[in-house]
Each structure stands twice: as C-alpha cells, then as structure tokens.
Amino acid sequence: MSAEESTSPQPWILDDALQQYGSLIPIHVDEVLEKLQDVFNESFSQPHRKAVVQHLIQSYQRLPGTAMVRGFRVNYKRHVLTMDDLSTLYGQNWLNDQVMNMYGELVMDCVPDKVHFFNSFFYDKLRTNGYDGVKRWTKNVDIFQKNLLFIPIHLEVHWSLVCVDVPQRTITYYDSQRTLNRRCPKHIAKYLQAEAIKKEQREFLNGWKGFFKMNIARQNNDSDCGAFVLQYCKCLALGQPFSFGQQDMPRLRRLMYKELCHCKLSL
C-alpha cells in the first residue's frame, strides 16, 4: 500500500489527536503532513497530497462521534476544562474564564515565585465591592515578593490586561483595541496601597505610576482580545518581545489549546 493510499482509509493520526485533545481543533493540515512524512519517509508537500489530507480532515470532522469527544476533560490543580471550555479557542469564539484562569496558572508555573496571575473575577469584584471584597484573595500570597502581577480585566465583552511591575512600581494597561480605561489603573493603585497597609509593607504605599501601552499589535476583529491577553502574559512572564499580531491568532489559538491539554506552556 502506498503512503498516499494509506492516508485515506486509516486516519490513525486523527484518532490519536482526538484521544489527546478531545477534538481536531488544534490540528493543522501541515502538522498531519509532517507526521505522514516522518512515517513514510517521503515528501507530502505536493499540492494534490495536501488537498487529499485537508479533505480527509474535513470529512473526518463531519463523521458522527468523531468531531468531538464530549466526555473529554483536562484537570489541573483546581481547574477543570471541558470541551465546551476548550472549544472557545476555536475560530473566532470568545475565550471564557475557565480557559483564561487555567492558562494564567500555567504562566505562573513556568516562572515559579516570580509572577502572580489574579483570577479573572478579581477586578470586577474589586470594582464593585472595593478592597474589602477581595482582601482575602491573597491571604496565602505576598504579592510584593513577586516581580509581576497579571490582572485580567473583563468588562462586558472585552478582555484587557493590567501588568504590575512590583520592583519598578509601575501599573501598565495593555489593550489590543487600544482603549484608554483610565479608571482601571487607579483602582489597581488603590488596591495595592490597601494591600500594602494590610500586609504591613509600607514601602509600597507610594510611588506607583500608571501607563498605557500603545505600541502593541492591534486586533482587527471583535473576538481575539482574550487570546491577545494570554499572549501578553506569556511574553511578559518569559521576558520575550510581543512578536505576534492578528495574523498569528489562528496558530496561537491552536498552540494554547495544546498547552492547556499538556498542562504546560510551550517555551
């Protein structure tokens, strides 16, 4: 049997992907071609072969019971992701809180003790209830011993990010739509001051400065804000430049899906 013939009746690569990821959402046709090339030790880069594999993937997704493994779960620490959660990474869906929070956990784990990612519900609670509403959220964390604090901001249908550089006393607002939410850094500054009093860290009472980061890649749709926020967090935590833009979002969504399933960031 030739390599080309074997791709159609035996979609074993796709079966493996379903077992590992619960769906074919993170699988790109080029990845399948590369695996086939490794197995059969011959090139699959010809346009007609790529078209055959692309058709196979599309056909496979339409088969009953193979498009998605409904009982698929990812469990990591206190986080549980279902297929409904992971599916928010598909296409132009809005990322939900479960995906945001588990990815934030992975960011923290890749640089232990250096960053703290606040739960996505933190800012709304702070905004509506003040410091008293969130003062217990860091009872086991000394945020002033961290280098960076990541605070995802979710207002109505848009995600943005506040990054606090603790040693530099800076509060920087990152927004892929470049909106200027002037109240947000002020809320965070007041929180930091109240936390400094409660934790008896008076050296952090003063000197905080707010900035809006404007020279960053901008989204050109209404759906990728959450993906931009998570990439900001990853790059900032790892000390990497923002070398991505709107055109990279399909690839980065697939990568984040895989990272969540592997419970580890791809560095």
The SS3 of residue 203 is helix
Q: Which of 158, 163, 184, 187 is catalytic?
A: 158
| CA distances in angstroms from 204 to 11, 148, 197, listed in the order given | 59, 14, 9
* Catalytic entry in 85, 116, 175, 187: 175
Instruction: Specify whether the CB–CB gap between 126 and 149 falls below 8 A.
Output: no
HSE (side-chain half, CA atoms, 13 Å) at 12: 6
Is residue 261 among the annotated active site residues? no
Copy the structure tokens of residue 184: 């947000």
Collapsing DSSP to helix, strand or coil, 25 comes out as coil
Nearest to 161 by CA among 147, 146, 144, 178: 178
User: Is 175 one of the annotated active-site residues of the chain?
Assistant: yes
- List of E strands, the chain: 73-76, 79-82, 115-117, 148-155, 158-165, 170-174, 209-213
SS3 call for 180: coil
Burial 203-228 (b: 16+ CB within 10 A, else e): ebeeebeeeeeeeebebeeeebbbbb
Q: Which residues are catalytic?
A: 158, 175, 225
